[in-house]
Amino acid sequence: MDRSGKIYVAGHRGLVGSAIVRSLKRSGYTNIVCRTHSELDLTDQSEVNKFFEEERPEYVFLAAAHVGGINANNTYPADFIYINSAIQCNVIKAAHDNKVKKLLFLGSSCIYPRLAPQPIPESALLTGPLESTNEAYAIAKISGLMMCRFFMRQYGDDFISCMPTNLYGPEDNFNLETSHVLPALIRKFDDAKKSGVDTVELWGSGSPLREFLYVDDMADACVFLMENYSGEEHVNIGTGKEITIKELAELVREIVGFEGEISWNSDMPDGTPRKLLDVSKLKGLGWQEKMGLREGIKATYDWYLSQAEEKLKK
């Protein structure tokens, strides 16, 4: 990417988009254009077209998405499939029409079959049934990565895709109904510690395995791919390391300093049993993450404590 080229980061207020903006600035990119949700509704095709015609970005990071944890995905599947499909259709088509030089589409490791071989290689895509709790989101994301692939194949557009594993870090969502597990654990243990409650209830059995990547590492990988990769096949982004939800809960409990008990609510879903990404393709290109899980959780907890709590809990 040209250091002074105009870069549009879609979704710059979110966990991922905000980290991409930080990473771009660290790497010396200065010409970054962003719009808040109220300034530009990405589900509105005419607004998106107008924005691209006026701003003419040369590079696009498509990090805007309707996201959530297992409960949000499972409860609101229509919103997840519709909003994500609309955003990506509008942005990818507008990028094509306005001759964007390069675009990176961000998906998710939930695009892979529920019982995919572990660690999951990129080639496992569309080889089996999806996990039901996030099927709607996964279908939208598969469609987005296929759009990039087919715009590249038919028109030669340099539109690439990456599939990050479970992410966490500053600017995450700490709402207990809709968040992912890591921010939920931080908030639940911190609330319990502060209010003197002696048991924290977590969801499912605690036995599923998950892989966690600090969002600033993921953002650096995105910038790295925009600088170093071009190809129809998507690229996994992860650490190649996994941990059970029970072990993760113990780790977060220790970092937060909650001394009470944990109970497991088996009425809540476990989701997919395991989703460890095969990251040999990304590592083969020369990328390596920096942040370990313990220090990443500490950094996220510090950030959480530094924020106005009421704002985060909305």
Residues labelled as active-site residues:
137
Which tokens is 92 given? 């990818």
Q: Among 181, 186, 213, 262, which residue interacts with ligand GFB (rule: CB under 6 A)?
A: 181
- Residue 107 engages ligand GFB in binding (rule: CB under 6 A): no
CB of 54 closer than 8 Å to CB of 94: no
- Residue 61 engages ligand GFB in binding (rule: CB under 6 A): no
Which tokens is 297 given? 């959780």
Which tokens is 12 given? 């710059």
Stretches 37-45, 117-125, 263-271, 291-299: which one binds ligand GFB (CB under 6 A)? 263-271
- Residue 247 engages ligand GFB in binding (rule: CB under 6 A): no
Q: Among 114, 149, 210, 281, which residue interacts with ligand GFB (rule: CB under 6 A)?
A: 210
Between the two ends of the chain, the Cα-to-Cα distance in Å is 37
Stretches 151-159, 178-186, 190-198, 294-302: which one binds ligand GFB (CB under 6 A)? 178-186
Rg, the chain, Cα only: 19
- Residue 110 engages ligand GFB in binding (rule: CB under 6 A): yes
Q: What is the dihedral of CA 160, 166, 168, 174, to 10 degrees?
A: 120
User: Which DSSP state fits 36?
Assistant: -
* Exposure of 198 in the CB half-sphere (CA atoms within 13 A): 0
Stretches 119-127, 142-150, 152-160, 262-270: which one binds ligand GFB (CB under 6 A)? 262-270
- Residue 73 engages ligand GFB in binding (rule: CB under 6 A): yes
- The phi and psi torsions of 268 (rounded to 5 degrees) equal -90, 150
Q: Among 9, 221, 245, 312, which residue interacts with ligand GFB (rule: CB under 6 A)?
A: 245
- Residue 105 engages ligand GFB in binding (rule: CB under 6 A): no
Q: Of 20, 60, 73, whose CA–CA distance to 215 is shortest?
A: 20
Q: What is the dihedral of CA 122, 65, 73, 180, to 10 degrees?
A: 80
Q: Among 203, 212, 229, 304, which residue interacts with ligand GFB (rule: CB under 6 A)?
A: 203
Considering the complex, state which of residue 57 and residue 271 has its C-beta at the smaller distance from ligand GFB: 271
Instruction: Kindly write down the DSSP assignment for every residue of 247-260, as one continuous string.
Output: HHHHHHHHHHT--S
Taking the C-alpha atoms of residue 108 and residue 167, their distance in angstroms, rounded to an integer, is 10
- Residue 271 engages ligand GFB in binding (rule: CB under 6 A): yes
Stretches 39-47, 142-150, 224-232, 268-276: which one binds ligand GFB (CB under 6 A)? 268-276
Considering the complex, state which of residue 208 and residue 296 has its C-beta at the smaller distance from ligand GFB: 208
List residues near ligand GFB by CB under 6 A.
69-71, 73, 108, 110, 133-134, 137, 166, 179-181, 184, 202-204, 208, 210, 245, 268-271
